[in-house]
């Protein structure tokens, strides 16, 4: 079945049947360049308005030529296109097809049609600064191997737009959508960035893999550490995300130097050991062990024989130790980098930093 033409060439421009006068006065020609016969506008009252060949038979390529011309026209007028992402079969890391570039809408500085490129002629040349993109519009004839070889030699990206869905007629708005916005019907015949995109992809994958291995190992180590280092000679190991930290006595001593002095702060300054734990619950008495001696630092509200001043002083110590606790938690693995590090004290499978006094 031949499709009735509702567009024709008028002074080398595509015009819709609605834009021209009836009959031969429309001054229109067949869009098939090989035919280019005079057309007559048939705008009667019975049939849908259309063009037909005047003195020749309806030619076979008219509709396909029209579709071609229309698609190129759309690109020339809109000067933009949505490029599909570029796929790559990753058989090294993911064993799957991955995208190495994303879908992207691009605006061209200029669009030229049918410009010869030496030994071949792309349908459309879109220019982006100094970069060019060739666009091929395919309805029934798709790009062949010979043309692909020529393209590769030129090293300019070539995109093919498949319009075979419109073989039996088109609505202009749908065609605009297919040419400009859609990506399902577009494929890269050649992409000049492909090599470097693959290289980048593989390099990133390599780093990703190495990082994953590193973190998996660190996590595994942390899990093992948890079993043997939950308490080290009474020093609490504090679990942060994947790492463990210890209340370092040296850091506690240094931190204590910044606080207003009192009995407990004085002991800590001199290197007495505190395991970083404040015992007791809110509302009740809170206490700590310093060198295994128990000290109350937050008297309970009940059974309190202390004067208001003494109570307030003790509560101040509670505040100081709470702050010290936060400062003294450090990454256990950092001990070896500490200037006070003096080796570990090993005790069974546990060990604790033997800091320099």
Q: Is the CB of 67 or the CB of 75 nearer to Zn ion?
A: 67
Q: Is the CB of 56 or the CB of 300 nearer to Zn ion?
A: 56
Q: Is the CB of 37 or the CB of 183 nearer to Zn ion?
A: 37
Q: Would you list the DSSP string of 179-246? A: III--TTEEEEE-TTHHHHHHHHHHHHHHHHHHHHHHHHHHHHHHHHHHHHSEETTEEEEE-SS-EEE
Q: Is the CB of 51 or the CB of 134 nearer to Zn ion?
A: 51
Q: Smallest distance, Å, CB 66 to Zn ion?
A: 10
Q: Smallest distance, Å, CB 32 to Zn ion?
A: 4
Distances in whole angstroms, Cα of residue 144 to Cα of each of 49, 137, 138, 192, 196: 37, 13, 11, 18, 25
The footprint of Zn ion (CB under 5 A) covers: 30, 32, 35, 37, 59, 62
Q: Is 67 helix (H, G, I), strand (E, B) or coil?
A: helix
| C-alpha 311 chain-centroid distance | 57
Q: Smallest distance, Å, CB 78 to Zn ion?
A: 27
Most distant CA atoms of the chain, gap in Å: 120
Q: Smallest distance, Å, CB 31 to Zn ion?
A: 8
Determine phi and psi for 303, rounding to 5 degrees: 45, 45
Q: Smallest distance, Å, CB 58 to Zn ion?
A: 7
Q: Smallest distance, Å, CB 69 to Zn ion?
A: 13
Who's near 149: CB < 8 A, 6+ residues apart? none
- Going by the DSSP 8-state scheme, the letter that residue 279 receives in this structure is B
Q: Is the CB of 2 or the CB of 149 nearer to Zn ion?
A: 2
Q: Is the CB of 55 or the CB of 260 nearer to Zn ion?
A: 55
Who's near 349: CB < 8 A, 6+ residues apart? 228
Q: Is the CB of 9 or the CB of 330 nearer to Zn ion?
A: 9
Q: Smallest distance, Å, CB 116 to Zn ion?
A: 24
Determine phi and psi for 107, rounding to 5 degrees: -110, 130
27/8 Cα distance (integer angstroms): 10
């Amino acid at each position: 079945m031949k499709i009735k033409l509702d567009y024709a060439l008028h002074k080398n421009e595509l015009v819709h049947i609605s834009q021209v006068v009836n009959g031969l006065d429309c001054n229109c020609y067949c869009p098939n360049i090989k035919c280019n016969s005079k057309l007559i506008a048939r705008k009667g009252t019975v049939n849908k308005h259309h063009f037909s060949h005047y003195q020749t038979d309806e030619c076979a390529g008219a509709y396909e030529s029209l579709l071609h011309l229309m698609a190129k026209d759309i690109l020339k007028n809109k000067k933009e296109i949505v490029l599909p992402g570029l796929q790559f079969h990753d058989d090294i890391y993911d064993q799957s097809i991955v995208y190495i570039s994303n879908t992207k809408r691009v605006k061209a500085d200029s669009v030229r049609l049918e410009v010869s490129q030496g030994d071949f002629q792309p349908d459309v040349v879109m220019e982006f600064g100094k970069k060019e993109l060739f666009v091929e519009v395919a309805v029934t004839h798709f790009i062949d191997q010979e043309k692909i070889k020529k393209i590769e030699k030129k090293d300019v990206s070539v995109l093919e737009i498949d319009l075979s869905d419109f073989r039996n007629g088109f609505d202009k708005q749908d065609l605009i959508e297919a040419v400009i916005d859609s990506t399902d019907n577009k494929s890269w015949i050649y992409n000049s960035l492909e090599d470097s995109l693959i290289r980048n992809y593989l390099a990133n994958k390599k780093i990703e893999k190495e990082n994953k291995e590193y973190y998996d190992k660190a996590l595994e180590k942390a899990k093992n550490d948890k079993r043997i280092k939950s308490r080290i000679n009474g020093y609490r190991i504090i679990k942060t995300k994947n790492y463990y930290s210890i209340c370092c006595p040296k850091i506690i001593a240094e931190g204590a130097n910044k606080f207003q002095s009192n009995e407990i702060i004085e002991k800590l300054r001199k290197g007495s050991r505190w395991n970083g734990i404040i015992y007791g619950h809110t509302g009740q008495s809170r206490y700590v062990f310093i060198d295994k001696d128990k000290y109350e630092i937050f008297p309970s509200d009940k059974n309190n024989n202390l004067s208001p001043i003494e109570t307030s002083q003790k509560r101040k110590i509670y505040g100081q130790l709470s702050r010290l606790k936060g400062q003294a938690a450090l990454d256990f693995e950092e001990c070896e980098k500490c200037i006070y590090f003096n080796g570990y004290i090993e005790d069974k499978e546990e060990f604790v930093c033997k800091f320099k006094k």
